[in-house]
Chain A
Amino acid sequence: MIKFNKFYTQFNILSSVMIVISLLLLVFKGLNFGIDFKGGTLIELRTLDKKINISNLRDNLKQMNLGDVSVKKFGNDKDYLIKFETRNEDNSVIEEIKSNLDKSFGNNFDFRRVEKVGPKVSAELLKSGVIAISVSLAIMLIYIWIRFEWQFSLGAIIALFHDVIITLGLFSLLNLEINLSIIAAVLTIVGYSMNDTVVIFDRVRENLRKYSDIKIFELTNISINETLSRTLITSITTLLALLSIFFFGGEILKGFSLAMIFGVIFGTYSSIYIANTVLVRLNVSQKTVIKEDEKI
């Protein structure tokens, strides 16, 4: 049996520090919102001529007076991602870029993807994203509150916030783009993290009923160990699936799968080291579960 409980305090401190750093990052550095949430134009471009490189592409676009243009390589040598803020309701800007590039470099471009999000829509998307995450956290809270005693609910919710905050913190730290698919990833992380915690809690509660003489500190450790191989196997298969999306699923899914990979790792860690330690700190005992059962 692995002594997980030996490091409860150390990992609690580590997690607290990570949460504080994440919050500081979120407040002071902020998130790198993509055009979904900030508005603007995105063009994915494929060049058919090897002579075209990032710097002459950048110079060419700079002359067009588009404001702050960012040009980045996207996946391979031929593909570029161009982003800029759309200033007005000018509908022909893409056509202008096309003809301008064709004039300078010859007809050597393929516009693979164009996305243009107006300020009103991006504000709405951001709002509905925030609502979606809040609602899902609230629903998880209600579900867990119905299913378990309040001490368990608190543990699960703290673990959940821990995962979401640190994942977002990591996105802020690495300056990764937040777009619609990241919201989907965060929601899935919420589901996954909850799932993981619930399985261990289920076992803790079962063991609480079974053994009256074992302290919660030991009991959580027993429960973690009993469910450990399941925790590991499920995390591994989920990570195998996610890693194959990350490496083979194309550029568009990179951010999504990366967020999920972070989420699964934090989710697994937090259900062991965050959710359980809340039970220990709240001094949960057999009385907690028996009392609840009698009430019903």
Chain B
Amino acid sequence: MNKFDNPFHDLWVTEILSPGEFVKMFSPIVASHAEDLFSTGNVIVKGRQGSGKSMLLGLLNTKTRVAYERAKQPYPAPKGYNNQFISAGVHLIKDNVRIVSSRVNECKENVRKEWAAATFSDYLNFLLLNDLVDNVVYLKEEQIKDNVLSSFLKISINEPEEMVFLKLLKENEVWEGYLNDCHSFLDLVKKIKNRISIYRRYFNFNSDELPREIEASKTIIGEPVAVFAEALRVSGIIPLKTKVFLRIDQHEELYELEKSTGHADVYREVINRALAMRDGRVAYRVGTRHYAWGTNIKVWGSGAHLENMRDYTTIDIDYMFRKHENPSLGAPFEAFAEDVFVRRLEVYSDEFKSDKVNGSMLSYVFGNTLSPQERAKKYVGLKKPSAKFFKGLSEEWVEYLQELWENAPLDAWMLRAWLDQKIQVNKKTSLSSSPENEFDAIAKKYWIKERNEIALVQLAGEMREMVYWSGKRHIVNLSGSNILAFMTICRAVWSAWLRSTSDEDLKRTSLPKIGVDKQMIGIYEASRIWSEKLKEGADGDRRYEFISFLGSWFSKKVRNDKALSNPGHNGFSMLKYDFERNEQDIISLIKSCRDQGDLVESDHTSKSKDGLLRIKWYLHPLLCPYFRIPHIRTKEPIYISSAELEANFSTFVHKSDENISEEVKPIQKDLFGE
């Protein structure tokens, strides 16, 4: 290990991990809550970017299973799972499936969609077949070495099995005669690889047309690999009860492909068709993002729709880690974060072993989050409140608040805000001569608790200090149940610490305890990076603008709420029917932000008397430091209609309302921008 490197430097490691590293890095917590992954039916693994979908699907990989067995590590599956399965997969980005569309425009316009669907189906079929063959051959070769996995997944490719297998395959019509000249397993392997190679040459414009042999033998999505799987079982090459899982990862790539090529919905509908077959011979595992799955579940060529729980079940990783009223419904994100953190450090260096620490390693490195009172004292230091803080108060109140400010500035700030609340204004409490009897802190325990964070944001602003975010609790909460956000924070904080530590100190340090000031800088950096990331992906520019607007709006609301009347105004709420029945731009923008994880959505149990159903949204917590708004969700959010929200947003975009546009400008580079 190089001590000058950052263990969290590579945020996305799934694609570059060797199977051995996978065993060390993989946290079993997601898998232990994902029983369906090993079930017999089709499974859709949904989640935001960086939620761990690929890692979860990678668990099914044969090489990963072999690595677990050889490392003598328990395979991280739920208890009692059926281990008799083999899987094959396609990674739509790494396998560059996008190239299928490269020559679609050479077809006549009226048959383009059909050609795209047929070619994509056949190409994908053969990619999956190729990987299935590779997995079978790989496992056989590994079993020759040490019988790995052979107690329940013995691979047997001898002449009798081979002959039966070839006969079964060739007599099936699905191949349209393409395999007729195969006389051995090896022939078959070559034939499959050759077809993929011909396709690639064609897609890359290295040949003028697809050979007749291929054009005339295109296969229906899912059929060849199902036939192949069944033949493997019946011939005895794999045990008869072996399930065959087919992984399709980065499914959202198809959504982007459809958008960029204008072949709306074709590719995803083809996948849907494979799932709609409800074919017991194979089962699909599709890794996708919310936006790519939710909007299209039509089946290619039939007009029918996929049915949840019938055609497929869903593992929603984001839902899994969301806080539930019934804890058994979800998984604890904090435990997941801790496990990922420990594994990353342990893989990185022997000096970072968790057994060197008593208790939580996250707590050891980042310490505990400062209490609200501690943070308030840090903001205030030796500074005094401004004159306007005491304006309109009786002498007794001034004296009382001055004294309180010295020892408990947060209490003083809250008390001052309380005096500005309507009831107190009407009662003229601020003119009282016995302030110590006016506010019952014990009775108002929850009033205080709900307002701690907003008061701290205001106090930090007033004292011209950065809002303090540090310690394990803040880091976990700011991650918003997303492991990529968590790792982004860890990377930035570790960088801030590395940067400020001299070479000599680094050489002496093993596991660091990172100070609050370094954490603050790191967390702000992570927040800035997260806000810049908004521009990535679907609708990037518009989402960026919308989130900038929301951040500015919330920030302004929070800062101007001097009476602390609305501590929940860092989110907004809309009537459910308004959101679901309207089709304004603003609604699709909210949906897009939600699906990309920029906004966190939940049902809103409203306090209003109308009893109408509402939905509420908050910014992803990691965006909060950037906009200087509290990340805690409490009390009532801002009530607004879609029309009002759209008007407000429009005002922000066109900068006609100085009050909105001037508060926090959208993130932009400063160079020459004065």
Partners in one complex: no
Interface residues of B (CB under 8 A from A): none
